[in-house]
Structure 1
Amino acid sequence: MKRFAASTRKVGAARLVVDSLKRVSLTFIGDDHQLNYAVAKVVGSRLGWFPVDGLKVMTGMRKVPDLAALTEPERVATEAELLRGLRNQFRVIATPLPAGAVLQDAVWKDLWGSVIVWIDEDDKSTPKPRTPERQLYEDRAELAVRVKVQKGFGVRGGQTLEGRARAVADTLLPRLSDFLAEKPELTERKRQYVERGCRGDWPELQPAEGSPVVAALDRKPLAGFEEEQEQQQGQEQQQGQGEQKQ
Structure 2
Amino acid sequence: MLESINTNVRVVVATLGGTLGAATRPENWKNLHAGLTVWLSQSEAKDEASAEEEARMAKQSENQAYAMADVIVKLGGWDSDAARPAAEGCLRALKCLLESDKELPGKKSLYIRMGCRGDWPNLLPPGWNPSEKDAQVATA
Say yes or no: does 1:118 pair with 2:39: yes
Q: Distance in 2 between matches of 1:100 and 1:160?
A: 20
| RMSD (Å) for aligned C-alpha atoms | 2.6
Say yes or no: does 1:167 pair with 2:85: yes
Match of 1:199 among 109, 117, 124: 117
Structure 2 vs 1, CA of residues 85 and 182 (structure 1 numbering), >3 Å: closer, same or farther? Answer: same
- Asked if 2 retains the 8 angstrom alpha-carbon contact of 1:87 and 1:113, the reply is yes
* 1:113-157: CA deviation from partner (whole Å, max 9, x where unpaired): 111111112247xxxxx9xxx8233211111111323xxxxxxxx
Say yes or no: does 1:92 pair with 2:11: yes
Over the matched positions of the two proteins, sequence identity in percent amounts to 28
What TM-score, normalized to structure 1?
A: 0.43
Say yes or no: does 1:187 pair with 2:93: no
What TM-score, normalized to structure 2?
A: 0.71
**Structure 1 position 214, deviation (Å):** 6.3
- Asked if 2 retains the 8 angstrom alpha-carbon contact of 1:200 and 1:212, the reply is no
- Asked if 1 retains the 8 angstrom alpha-carbon contact of 2:75 and 2:82, the reply is no
Structure 2 vs 1, CA of residues 121 and 189 (structure 1 numbering), >3 Å: closer, same or farther? Answer: same
Q: Distance in 1 between matches of 2:7 and 2:28?
A: 14
Q: Which structure's CA Rg is the greater one?
A: 1
**Structure 1 position 215, deviation (Å):** 6.9
**Structure 1 position 160, deviation (Å):** 4.5
Aligned to 2:129: 213
- Asked if 2 retains the 8 angstrom alpha-carbon contact of 1:199 and 1:212, the reply is no
Higher relative CO (Cα under 8 Å, sequence separation at least 6) belongs to 1
Aligned to 1:137: 65
Say yes or no: does 1:106 pair with 2:27: yes
Runs of 4+ in 1 over 6 A off after TM superposition: none
- Asked if 2 retains the 8 angstrom alpha-carbon contact of 1:84 and 1:110, the reply is yes
**Structure 1 position 102, deviation (Å):** 2.5
Q: Which protein is richer in helix relative to its size? A: 1
Paired residue secondary structure (2:37) = strand
| Number of aligned positions between the proteins | 118
